[in-house]
Structure 1
Amino acid sequence: MTVRRTGGAPETGADRGRTARPPLTGPQRFLLAGSFLITLGSFAVLPYMSVLLHQRLGLGIGTVGVVLAVASLIQFAGGVAAGPVTGRIGLRRAMLLALALRTAGFAAFVPGLTSWVLAVGALLLVSAGAALYLPANKAYLVEGASEVARPRLLSASGSAFNAGMALGPPAAAPLVMGSPGVLFSCVCVLFALVGAGHALLPREASDRGGGRPAATPVRGSVAPPSGPSPFLVTVLSVYAFMFFQHYLALYAVPRTSAAFYGAVLTGYAALLVVAQPLLAERVAALSYPAALRMGFGAMAAGMAAIGAGGHAGIAVGGALLCLGEIVLFLKNDLEALARSTAAPASVFGRQRLAAGIGAFASGVVGGQLYGAAESAGSARGFWAAVCLQCLLLPVFLLRRRRAPARRRTARDPEGSRAAAD
């Protein structure tokens, strides 16, 4: 398919070369650096919340589970509020509001170390801020960006977040139990400084009265495209991926060691940070069906490798899961942006909701499935079952894609042939 610019002149290879890598602007560079620092601070604290609530504040483990479930629900499902909020106050102000909520939450953790009520309230504040910040951050990052620039920006954003996630827990480990007040104070100061930097960002075009720039369709797609909804694909992508995230530790640590499991997670994060930007343009160039086959296929192969067991199988499985995550998660966001006429913050908010639904479903199904596999005396059966699901998901999704096309052809065969011509 030949891509045409305004005026009808075909785009040449030289044109694509000149526009393939537009330089990052100052605000974009700041947002990427801020994304790393924000995630670093968040993951210096949040992975240890169950320990703090249970061991330090004395909450029962069942109560802790409920609190964390509610916080996760707010963090993911609350993303749907990003569209209305950013539409009313603008992207920059929405990010400032989100960071104010998170700064207040981390500040409240300091007195909350002696009161579970304050600690739970602080956690919910932090979760509410996270729900609003990420969609607004991504929307500001891609506002006005060309089709060529969007994959690189979104992949760089993902790398920044994943780098913070990888480095946050080990950075906080020396303080989290011995001096948690110092840790929370440092994180609070970090968020306050990053928030002050956000206050210096220029207002986006829509907030200056320039309106929302027209959405640019993904190269090679036809608008409006037929096919599986990116929302549904995101639900199922996260559903499949979270089996790995939730249950690898239960499987790997007894069969290898905690140190090896930690090394796999560190290597996974490093590979994701490096490979995601390098593969971004290739992922963007894939058709959606091809991306689904490749992404779910890599996940299926990764689950099978993990089930084979041993150090090599688990390491190779992690690398394949990383490839699946890169392809599916980036392509889903790009496809959702290309198909929607809504503001990007609304699109990313719905994608967060989809991710939350997928993670919740994976946790519920995975717990029952892993328990059944262990009861049967074969934890490897769990990974075989997940592998089978990953193989069947693209078949299910692409069959749904072909069925509406067949119905349209049956209703209007001449029109369908004309459209194909």
Structure 2
Amino acid sequence: MRAALSVLDGPPRFLLLCSFLIPLGSFMVLPFMSVFLHERLGMGLGTVGVVLAGASLVQFSGGIVGGALADRFGLRRTMLWALTIRTAGFAGLLLALRWPLLSVGALILTCCGAALYLPANKAYLVHGVDDEHRPAFLSAGNAALNAGMAVGPLIAGPFVLSSPGWLFVAVTALFVLVTAGHTRLPDAGGERGPGPEAGGRSLLSGVAALPFAANALAFYLYFHFQHFLAVYAVERASSAFYSLVLLLCFTLVIVVQPLASGLIRRMPYATALALGFTGLAAGMAVLSAGTRPALLAGGTLITLGDIVLFLKNDLEALRRSPRSDAVVFGQQRLAAGLGACAGGVLGGQLYGLTEHAGDAGWFWLLAAVQCLVLPAVLPAFRDRTPHSHPHETPTPIRTTKEH
């Protein structure tokens, strides 16, 4: 891992720093949006839920548009557009303190910016990197992202309701600086015009079916945990203990995924899927006990399972698809968005039924059963003619794959 990252020059190092700063700024605001919209701006909880669900769907699934734009107009240019849009969104939240109706549009803008940025960011980070080192680069980016997500709420928590104006000013200023830094990145391939595959191809052409389906399923199951652990844990422990569980999960991703990236790369895909979904199943089952040790242990097992699944699915999609890296990452984000949306909608119905029956622990047991049963359908999505990724040796940065 350390040897792989030692070859990083200025632009990738800057992108890794931004992979920390961007979620740091975002998570100084976004985790508190339900509280801000409800308590500060007076929205009903039903309306808040609809707004947040729509924003999440845009942020995840919009990645496929971001990948297509990066493929057509270039990685650097797309990142600049995305950051400009996201900066405008955070500035809009500041204006929403005076005109509350602006808050929904501002939130959607921030999510559109995130959707456009991530595929181009990942593609820029790994272009010119051989297959052996790609897992280290991707996992380093994921570690930086999770570190920002962990630190942001800790910084902003005391200020989100007492001084939201200053908070929004600080986040907007941070995004202005990050955007300015991106203007100094060297041009990536495709900046001079559309790549050779940019015209006449649909957003889903060349999709690697099995990694796409496996990613959607992994996010569907993970968002049972993401959406509903809070209400389950706070009732049985406390909000502070719930924060501790989240901090543990973030720390595991930051520490374990980079260390395990080489092993995950070498692992057969079928083995990675089996280990990942088994980890999810074990974690969900442990959570059903509802005790504090069970919350910590369950969160640990689920996170370890997802460390394997999320990284391996991306690596397999890159290896199997003939499309550019940015398009592949966009397709994988679409899968994540569909899975996350389904997890929220169907998981919410299931949680409501078990809670109404008097024991929400059954929710986690039923989720564990799904983790074991649903992966059985994945072989139906097996690619008939998988493609190998062409990057066997480092090559100049570009946005399309050569055949």
TM-score of the alignment, normalized to the shorter chain, above 0.5? yes
Q: Deviations over 1:193-218 (max 9, x none)?
A: 11111111111234368979xxxxxx
Q: 1:18 to 1:31 in 2, by over 3 A?
A: closer
User: What is the CA RMSD across the aligned residues, in angstroms?
Assistant: 2.5
SS of 1:144 mapped into structure 2: coil
1:68 aligned residue (47, 52, 58): 52
2:187 aligned residue (203, 213, 219): 203
Matched, 1:320 2:304: no
| Map of 2:277 onto structure 1 | 296
Matched, 1:23 2:2: no
Q: 1:337 to 1:401 in 2, by over 3 A?
A: closer
SS of 2:355 mapped into structure 1: helix
Which structure would you say has the larger RCO, counting Cα contacts within 8 Å and 6 or more residues apart? 2
| Map of 1:124 onto structure 2 | 108
| Map of 1:135 onto structure 2 | 119
Normalised by the length of structure 1, the TM-score is: 0.84
Instruction: Give the conservation status (yes or no) of the 8 Å contact 1:296–1:393.
Output: no
2:349 aligned residue (355, 361, 368): 368
What is the CA distance between 1:22 and its match in structure 2?
5.8
Q: Deviations over 1:320-366 (max 9, x none)?
A: 11111100000010011111111111111111111111011111111
Amino acid corresponding to residue 229 of structure 1 in structure 2: L
| Map of 2:22 onto structure 1 | 38
SS of 1:146 mapped into structure 2: coil
What is the CA distance between 1:318 and its match in structure 2?
1.0
What is the CA distance between 1:290 and its match in structure 2?
0.6
| Map of 1:284 onto structure 2 | 265
Matched, 1:239 2:220: yes
What is the CA distance between 1:18 and its match in structure 2?
12
SS of 2:323 mapped into structure 1: coil
CA distance in 2 between counterparts of 1:103 and 1:61 reads 27
What is the CA distance between 1:399 and its match in structure 2?
6.2
Matched, 1:170 2:154: yes
Instruction: Give the conservation status (yes or no) of the 8 Å contact 2:210–2:381.
Output: no
Instruction: Give the conservation status (yes or no) of the 8 Å contact 1:57–1:115.
Output: no
Instruction: Give the conservation status (yes or no) of the 8 Å contact 2:314–2:332.
Output: yes
CA distance in 1 between counterparts of 2:51 and 2:155 reads 25
Q: 1:376 to 1:33 in 2, by over 3 A?
A: same
What is the CA distance between 1:393 and its match in structure 2?
2.6
What is the CA distance between 1:53 and its match in structure 2?
1.8
SS of 1:357 mapped into structure 2: helix
CA distance in 2 between counterparts of 1:112 and 1:206 reads 37
Report 1:175-254 matches (<5 A). 175-207=159-191, 229-254=210-235
Instruction: Give the conservation status (yes or no) of the 8 Å contact 1:19–1:148.
Output: no
Instruction: Give the conservation status (yes or no) of the 8 Å contact 1:90–1:207.
Output: yes
Larger-gyration structure (1/2): 1
What is the CA distance between 1:70 and its match in structure 2?
2.1
Instruction: Give the conservation status (yes or no) of the 8 Å contact 1:107–1:188.
Output: yes
SS of 2:101 mapped into structure 1: helix
Q: 1:232 to 1:210 in 2, by over 3 A?
A: closer
SS of 1:308 mapped into structure 2: coil
Percentage of matched positions with identical amino acids: 55
2:64 aligned residue (77, 80, 86): 80
Q: 1:341 to 1:62 in 2, by over 3 A?
A: same
CA distance in 2 between counterparts of 1:18 and 1:76 reads 30
Q: 1:211 to 1:322 in 2, by over 3 A?
A: same
Amino acid corresponding to residue 102 of structure 1 in structure 2: R
Which sections of structure 1, spanning at least 5 residues, go unmatched? Answer: 1-16, 213-223, 406-421
What is the CA distance between 1:21 and its match in structure 2?
6.1
1:390 aligned residue (371, 374, 388): 371
Instruction: Give the conservation status (yes or no) of the 8 Å contact 1:306–1:314.
Output: yes
| Worse overlay, 301-310 or 55-64 | 55-64
Amino acid corresponding to residue 358 of structure 1 in structure 2: G
Query: Which has more helix, going by share of residues?
Result: 1
Amino acid corresponding to residue 176 of structure 1 in structure 2: V
